[in-house]
A and B are shown apart, each in its own frame.
Chain A
Amino acid sequence: MREFDYTRAETLSGAAGQLGENASIIAGGTNLLDLMKIQVMTPSRLVDITRIDGLRDVSEDGEGLRIGALVTNSELAADPRVREGWPLLSRAILAGASGQIRNKATTGGNLLQRTRCPYFYDTAMPCNKRNPGEGCSAKEGDGRMLAIFGTSEHCLAAHPSDMAVALAALRAEVEICAPHGDARRVPISELYKLPGDRPDIETVLAPDDIITAVHLPAPQADTRQVYKKVRDRASYAFALVSVGVAVAMDGDRIASVSCAIGGVAPKPWTDPEIEKALAGQTPSDEVFGQAADKALTQARCQPDTEFKKPLLRRTLIAALREATGLAASAPGVETARIPA
């Protein structure tokens, strides 16, 4: 690790005042410290926000929930209100990382974790995300974990979060505190920027913005929610493809679907065409397959990621079969209720 100054912030404004050129917030630190050890990230100052009051609670917010940025992944997945009203979120969090990591990793930090593209981690190889303009080694390299949507010629890296996929499917918003302005809210799907020609700029956050909370909208009672994750080993691995869906039925027909896909894009991938193709339809493999094919028209694959197209198609169909009741209810399919 390179040397750095350590500051423990007492207040949000105190923390914001310490941010700026080459400073970084630290909370759980599970991704940041890992990257600092291999000198992919070399902040000259760490601002510890874990002692700031008011960021550790999950509280009722109108009909939804406000999740403080420092709520750990473990706390959030086990929160009785989340389990009842937004089971997709519990499942997605529990699908990620390990028990130890989830005890440290925070809600805000999970959203801002960096890609696990092997070339981003390998400082001996060019990477436009680490050093803009240097080139992208992934283009001719080992590409199994790379994205197929939203990429550019400058970067093929995928966003690794499971939690963010659930939050995108649940239409959550991120609360951001700016030092010289009011708190603002950004829909989760608008938090992230596609790489374009600046893959180093990953979100709409300014250097002294701080994520203070995530807001979940009112739970949609009776929606059937599924998080399906495909990975190279049974546990503690990042997604090759994951699908989060919440389905509302109207008798035998699909009333509405909200859906996000993980492991395939620089952000949790949402495509309104999928939801349009499903609304009002009678569930069938053919209908689900057509919805997947609409989404896949946007896919840009390398030889190494061609497998993700059929994998995504099958994963989406499997998730929709379970959520619509076309397949017998499997473990991991939950019906949302209004929390007591």
Chain B
Amino acid sequence: MRTRFTVNGEPREVEHDTRATLLDILRDQLGLTGTKKGCDHGQCGACTVLVNGKRVNSCLCLAAMHEDDEMTTIEGLGSPEALSALQKAFVSQDGYQCGFCTPGQIVSATAMLEELRAGDPSFASASLEGEMPLDDSEIAERMSGNLCRCSAYPLIREAIAMAAEVKS
């Protein structure tokens, strides 16, 4: 079957089996290998991409269901010459060890900061109303869908806090 969608601003049309996930299309057909296949079951977050601005696990998306959708991958957030605020912060704070989970962490955090700006609460929020402060426990709760087997969590949280300050 054929499906058309936009990836990082570019219109794409792909021919694929009904079983193809968005993750496999991005990596194998479009060559966008920044998005990683970790668990392939929605548990690790390494495959996180933005679909119409929202973070999702691309391993749990059927490509067939994304006709006309707009996808953003790690490649669409910045380039080696022009890093995004979060990419800079991860470099500056050393927010990784092996780096495998990093693209998913950065894509996820990019959307998470938008959710925070929109005032969306989390389970760690003291109140469901009002401004949502971004303390360490909020970052940990809001990023719990991204695992890091090297356990670089303290530095990942520092990088996210740093980028959030730069942005606000």
Give A residues with C-beta under 8 Å from B. Answer: 1, 3-6, 8, 26, 29-30, 33-34, 37, 46, 48, 50, 74, 77-78, 83-84, 87, 90-91, 94-95, 97-101, 103-104, 234-236, 331-332, 334
Contact = CB atoms under 8 A, between A and B. Distances in A.
Nearest to A36: B19
B18 A100 contact: no
Closest 7 CB pairs of A and B: A98-B145, A235-B144, A331-B126, A236-B144, A94-B123, A6-B18, A83-B128
B54 interface: yes
Contact of A37 (B18, B40, B54, B145): B40
Chain A interface mostly? mixed
Nearest to B47: A100
B123 to A, nearest CB: 4
Query: What's the dominant secondary structure at chain B's contact region?
Result: loop
A17 B70 CA distance: 30
B76 interface: no
Given A100-B56, A101-B42, A235-B144, 12 more contacts: A6-B18, A8-B65, A26-B62, A78-B121, A83-B128, A97-B145, A100-B145, A101-B60, A103-B55, A234-B140, A331-B125, A334-B128
Which of B21, B112, B128 gathers most chain A CB within 10 Å? B128
Nearest to B128: A83
Nearest to A337: B129
Contact of A99 (B61, B65, B112, B118): B112
B117 interface: no
Nearest to B123: A94
Given A3-B18, A78-B120, A101 B127 contact: no
Given A30-B60, A100-B145, A104-B57, A83 B129 contact: yes
Interface centre among B120, B127, B140, B143 (most CB of A within 10 A): B120
A91 B121 CA distance: 9
24 contacts: A4-B18, A6-B1, A6-B18, A30-B57, A30-B60, A33-B60, A37-B40, A48-B65, A74-B54, A74-B120, A78-B118, A83-B121, A87-B128, A90-B121, A100-B45, A100-B48, A100-B55, A101-B42, A101-B57, A103-B54, A104-B61, A235-B123, A236-B144, A331-B126
A15 to B, nearest CB: 14
A26 to B, nearest CB: 7
B41 interface: yes
Nearest to A48: B65
Q: Using C-beta atoms within 8 Å of the partner chain, give the interface range for chain B.
A: 35 or more
Contacts of A46: 18, 62
A74 B111 CA distance: 13
A235 B120 contact: no
A172 B62 CA distance: 31
Given A6-B62, A83-B128, A235-B141, A104 B56 contact: yes
B56 A103 contact: yes
A50 B65 contact: yes
B102 interface: no
Interface of B: 1, 17-19, 21, 40-42, 45, 48, 54-57, 60-62, 64-65, 67, 108, 111-112, 115, 118-123, 125-129, 140-146
A227 B67 CA distance: 38
Given A34-B42, A83-B128, A94-B122, A99 B145 contact: yes
A29 B18 contact: no
Contacts of A84: 129
Nearest to B57: A100
A33 B145 contact: no
Contacts of A94: 121-123
Nearest to B145: A98
Contacts of B41: 34, 37
Nearest to B129: A83
A235 B140 contact: yes
| Listed residue (A5, A91, A104) with the most chain B CB atoms within 10 angstroms of its CB | A104
A5 B19 CA distance: 9
A4 to B, nearest CB: 6
Q: Which of the listed residues A26, A50, A332 has the most CB atoms from chain B within 10 Å of its own CB? A: A332
Given A6-B62, A100-B48, A235-B144, A90 B128 contact: yes
B115 A95 contact: no
A4 B145 CA distance: 29
Contacts of A5: 18
Nearest to A334: B128
